């Protein structure tokens, strides 16, 4: 694994907005084992442990293994955030399971206790240069003195092992091989949210309703104990939402629920954005702001009846018919639709709070489209409608937890 730079492709595969909290899963193209030729959704921590077992000897000092765990994790994480556009049977993929990226062979590589401990000890640590996450390369290298082959881009494993044997810590090793200018990052002292929709810094068009989805970050062993989501509005300037005179929405909408939440009653001619305040178990509170949306009253509208808008419900069964009602502006008709099934692993059994959504099956048929569901996942549906005037509206259903908790 060389860590050579690549050009970023448009779009994403594993949707993940945080550079502090690791993603829960990633997409791996398998080239070996019984699943060869297909894309697998893999638990991210399991992936890092298996790669560490394949690439870093279990007998090495703990500081060397821990520096390797950070490098392995951030290499894959970087390509989750910087998708290269790969796809195969089963959908898109972030990394390949061989030396083109990192060796992930769970059928033959099992992590030892020391390798598991190294991953766990560094799980909430990331490293940055200039405030940005970067691609962490590593190579075997030669058995030379500690730091003798430093180049600022890669850890040379054998000389790094000698650094650990000489008493250097993992952070010392990371700074030596990836420096200068390296910063060690851990989760923020206060809770924070990363908006996925409307994405921070983005401006999009919506109908009279808009869904807010976000991921949550906490520090150490703290948990989020309460949420306060509010809707703000502002007059657009030159067609954009870059102004600074944001006021509480005249609709007075608010919510204390977890992601996702849907605000209704948006008025044409205004900009809207969400503000969420998170309070953790130490009573620390912090606020995060979403991107902006401008309602388009001419866009066609969908209202889901199954799963009903804004609901989170249990479902036990292999087949679901997603149903919704459609309304277009006077004088127009709906010409086409694209229905996308989205799925996510349950972050906690029986719950979809904080789920990381990925696109699954798609269809262009109308209300009543049928989809097969797998156990222990969360599901929702996104329908995009285009009318005869060229307007497009996108709507998100409620959420199903499968199977029933």
The DSSP code sequence of 201-224 is T-EEEE-S-EEEEEEEE--TT--E
Average pLDDT over residues 205-222: 81
User: What is the pLDDT at residue 5?
Assistant: 29
CA geometry: angle 221, 226, 228, nearest 5 deg:
135
Q: For residue 327, list its beta bridge partners.
A: 301
| Spatial distance between the Cα atoms of 227 and 212, rounded to a whole number of angstroms | 13
Domain assignment of residue 318, given as a range: 298-405
Query: Are 163 and 201 within one domain?
Result: no
Residue with the larger pLDDT of the pair 121 and 194:
121
186 φ, ψ to 5°? -130, 165
Query: Are 176 and 208 within one domain?
Result: no
Tokens 């520096």 -> residue: 67
Residue 231: Cβ within 10 Å count: 24
Q: Which two tokens stand for residue 237?
A: 């300037």
Highest mean pLDDT among 8-17, 290-299, 343-352: 290-299
Average pLDDT over residues 133-160: 95
Please give the tally of structural domains in the chain: 3
In a domain, 17, yes or no: no
| Spatial distance between the Cα atoms of 345 and 375, rounded to a whole number of angstroms | 10
Average pLDDT over residues 274-302: 88
- Quick one: which of 170, 191, 74 has its CA closest to 127? 74
Average pLDDT over residues 339-355: 78
Please give the model's pTM, rounded to 2 decimal places. Answer: 0.56
User: What is the pLDDT at residue 3?
Assistant: 36
User: What is the pLDDT at residue 213?
Assistant: 86
Q: What percent of the chain has pLDDT over 70?
A: 94
Q: Which two tokens stand for residue 172?
A: 């010392």
Query: Are 151 and 239 within one domain?
Result: no
CATH at residue 202: 2.60.40.10
In a domain, 66, yes or no: yes
User: What is the pLDDT at residue 312?
Assistant: 81
| Listed residues 297, 322, 351: the one ending a domain | 297
Looking at the predicted structure, is the pLDDT value of residue 7 above 60? Answer: no
Query: Are 340 and 402 within one domain?
Result: yes
In a domain, 3, yes or no: no
Query: Are 67 and 98 within one domain?
Result: yes
| Spatial distance between the Cα atoms of 7 and 2, rounded to a whole number of angstroms | 15
In a domain, 6, yes or no: no
In a domain, 12, yes or no: no
Q: Which two tokens stand for residue 225?
A: 């104990």
Angle between helices 113-121 and 44-55 (to 10 degrees): 130
Rg (CA), the chain: 23
Note whether 28 and 35 are within 8 A (CB).
no
Query: Are 256 and 302 within one domain?
Result: no
| Spatial distance between the Cα atoms of 394 and 300, rounded to a whole number of angstroms | 8
Looking at the predicted structure, is the pLDDT value of residue 192 above 70? Answer: yes
Q: What percent of the chain has pLDDT over 90?
A: 46
Question: How does residue 135 score in pLDDT terms, banded at 50, 70 and 90?
Answer: very high
Query: Are 192 and 82 within one domain?
Result: no
Looking at the predicted structure, is the pLDDT value of residue 2 above 60? Answer: no
Q: Per residue in 36-87, pLDDT tens?
A: 999 999 999 999 999 999 999 999 999 999 999 999 999 999 999 888 989 9
Q: Per residue in 289-345, pLDDT tens?
A: 998 998 887 878 888 899 987 778 888 878 899 999 998 888 889 999 999 998 888
């Amino acid at each position: 694994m060389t860590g050579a730079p690549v050009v970023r492709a448009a779009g994403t595969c594993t949707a993940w907005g945080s550079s502090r909290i690791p993603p829960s899963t990633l997409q791996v193209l398998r080239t070996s084992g019984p699943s060869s030729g297909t894309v697998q959704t893999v638990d991210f921590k399991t992936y890092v442990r298996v790669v560490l077992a394949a690439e870093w000897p279990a007998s090495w000092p703990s500081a060397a293994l821990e520096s390797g765990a950070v490098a392995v994790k951030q290499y894959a994480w970087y390509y989750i955030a910087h998708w290269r556009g790969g796809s195969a049977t089963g959908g898109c993929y972030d990394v390949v399971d061989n030396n083109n990226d990192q060796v992930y062979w769970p059928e033959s590589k099992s992590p030892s206790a020391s390798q598991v401990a190294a991953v766990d000890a560094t799980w909430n640590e990331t490293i940055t240069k200039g405030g940005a996450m970067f691609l962490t390369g590593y190579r075997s290298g030669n058995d030379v003195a500690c730091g003798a082959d430093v180049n600022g881009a890669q850890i040379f494993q054998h000389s790094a092992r000698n650094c650990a044997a000489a008493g250097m810590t993992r952070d010392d090793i990371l700074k030596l091989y990836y420096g200068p200018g390296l910063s060690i990052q851990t989760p923020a002292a206060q809770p924070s949210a990363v908006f996925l929709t409307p994405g921070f810094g983005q401006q999009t068009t919506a109908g009279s309703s808009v869904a807010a989805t976000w991921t949550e970050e906490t520090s150490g062993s703290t948990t989020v104990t309460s949420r306060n989501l509010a809707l703000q509005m502002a007059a657009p300037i030159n067609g954009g939402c870059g102004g600074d005179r944001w006021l509480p929405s005249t609709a007075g909408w608010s919510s204390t629920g977890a992601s996702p939440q849907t605000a209704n009653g948006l008025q044409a001619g205004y900009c809207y954005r969400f503000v969420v305040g998170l309070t953790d178990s130490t009573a620390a509170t912090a606020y995060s702001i979403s991107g902006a949306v401008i309602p388009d009253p001419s866009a066609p509208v969908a209202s889901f009846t199954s799963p009903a808008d804004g609901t989170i419900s249990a479902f036990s069964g292999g087949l679901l018919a997603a149903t919704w009602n459609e309304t277009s502006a006077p004088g127009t008709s709906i010409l086409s639709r694209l229905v996308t099934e989205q799925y996510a692993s349950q972050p906690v059994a029986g719950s979809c709070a904080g789920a990381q959504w990925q696109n699954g099956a798609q269809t262009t048929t109308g209300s009543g489209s049928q989809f097969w569901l797998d156990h222990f996942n969360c599901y929702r549906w996104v329908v995009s409608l285009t009318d005869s005037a060229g307007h497009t509206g996108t709507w998100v259903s409620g959420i199903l937890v499968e199977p029933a908790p």
